[in-house]
Structure 1
């Protein structure tokens, strides 16, 4: 059963987050589906609960700018925008710090993270009480209408998440603006609660990226709401491996194939949630270890195309694509 928590149950909601459970909470835009972004299994549970078909990077929520900038590297533009619009419906995509505590799955394996400080008193209280980075996409089933009340959340996710913190209707009702600051020019990845004109008044001209429909078709995610490029191993990836050689690293699922030069098992038990949680860390480790050992590629064992397996296979297919 999903608990419906009143506004004064912030401590309970924060404890659930730290325990690795999923908790929906209100922001000024829509209700978010929160998880402790440091815990891979908790982050994987977000994708599972939403039925998300592939691993979009997730927006990370913080109680103040200092906490957000502890996970990313801000420049002068980011600091100016944070001073002007945070708390508020603006998400900034910035380079990930090497010391970041955020699990790779929350950032979809990229070297960037999407961060924001929401302008909702209950959200800010929860984030302060939890004391952890909170990954939180909208609290609805993938492809559904974003929720602006606790009732909306329960209509789609009751029984799939631990709790919803009821803070009443959301004020803005449209998702945050997503702005990419990783290049020389700022690029609008998703329009939202802060207008491009308001942003340009602070940092100058803002570029527009490709239309969302075209970006979705590319199947290569850059940030929440838009797709450009994804982390891919330097070593070539071979899918559907039924055998493996000593010159290959093995990305295993279930009982590993014998004979590989290096092995990372997504889940010995064949658990798709565990496999999703270990996917990006596994690809990175095999890439580095394979290169160190002089291996020529990564062989990936088949993963069932059901539930989170669809997202895992989607990511593996893009990792294996010609480049």
Structure 2
């Protein structure tokens, strides 16, 4: 299969492919998603095949507005409406009870809930609006690998496996959306992102919990990113929690380092062995996946050390992704 890259003025071609049951990757403000019409079960199953994704890992349903949510959610409670009004379009995914029979099991994983998201990206908004149906939107990468933040990342992983990629340039956020579960009595953040639990709590005027538990092998996760290994390049990743510990590492030409600019300047390694995460945590959020992909393509790198952060809720999303990439290994 030839994978075509579409420019901004070729949305109609992408719409036509989706209607035919094909898979098309699309840009969002977080990472690139892999799209198929959410109501077409065979197309959705092909998303799992293209990514090599476990079939019990439910998919996010990407919509263009709240009205589209109402077609598939059992109800849209007041607190969901508050979050939609405040954060949509934007990097917040909301888990609600699904309207029975409205979406295939391939989307929900057989659960009674489904996650909805409305991205802050005009290209994707126009795509879904013209299509008239929601699309599933898992990250457009090979399963377990770092999520894609450019169309080129998608092409690297899925060339020949999907029909097209809409090139919207580099994503703004760089980490996937926050997922909040509103199907429970007390809202709980299942996956951290740019929007923090504190911000959600302020809008709702109630307590918001943060998921810290693990999903067992026999359980179906309620949302993506809760159960399986994620974001990992080929070489093992190690988190360096204290930047002073970089001085204790026995560096050689087979080691890669990802850190903020100031820290990289202190490390005696060839330029090719370093990846600059930027000047602050916001930059690091944006650049984390690009850095992991940078080293994934360097076959001579056998170990990657990455700077960690401890900045409360602001660093929750970054550390969530980095810990998964490292399998919990810290220096």
Q: TM-score range by the shorter chain?
A: 0.5 to 0.7
Q: Offset of 1:42 from its aligned partner?
A: 0.3
1:205-224 Cα distance to aligned partner (Å, 9 max, x none): 1112234xx22655432222
Residue number in structure 2 paired with 1:205? 207
Q: Offset of 1:53 from its aligned partner?
A: 2.8
Residue number in structure 1 paired with 2:81? 79
Q: Offset of 1:110 from its aligned partner?
A: 1.0
- Cα distance in 2, alignment partners of residues 147 and 62 from structure 1: 20
Listed as ranges, the matches of 1:1-323 within 5 Å are 1-72=2-73, 73-98=75-100, 100=102, 102-203=103-204, 204-211=206-213, 214-215=214-215, 217=217, 219-226=219-226
- Cα distance in 1, alignment partners of residues 57 and 101 from structure 2: 22
Does the Cα contact within 8 Å between 1:179 and 1:187 map onto a contact in 2? yes
1:11-54 Cα distance to aligned partner (Å, 9 max, x none): 11111111110000000100000001111110000000000134
1:209-241 Cα distance to aligned partner (Å, 9 max, x none): 234xx22655432222235xxxxxxxxxxxxxx
The SS at the match of 2:29 is: coil
* TM-score, normalisation: structure 2: 0.66
The SS at the match of 2:16 is: helix
Does the Cα contact within 8 Å between 2:197 and 2:210 map onto a contact in 1? no
Segments of structure 2 that go 5 or more residues without pairing to the other structure are 228-331
| Range with greater deviation from structure 2 (66-75 or 214-223) | 214-223
Does the Cα contact within 8 Å between 2:141 and 2:148 map onto a contact in 1? yes
Q: Offset of 1:113 from its aligned partner?
A: 0.9
* TM-score, normalisation: structure 1: 0.67
User: How big is the alpha-carbon RMSD for the aligned residues of Structure 1 and Structure 2?
Assistant: 1.3
Segments of structure 1 that go 5 or more residues without pairing to the other structure are 228-323
The SS at the match of 2:116 is: strand
What number of residue pairs does the alignment pair up?
224
The SS at the match of 1:123 is: helix
1:127-163 Cα distance to aligned partner (Å, 9 max, x none): 1111111001000000001001000000000000000
1:255-291 Cα distance to aligned partner (Å, 9 max, x none): xxxxxxxxxxxxxxxxxxxxxxxxxxxxxxxxxxxxx
Does the Cα contact within 8 Å between 2:57 and 2:220 map onto a contact in 1? no
Does the Cα contact within 8 Å between 2:28 and 2:120 map onto a contact in 1? yes
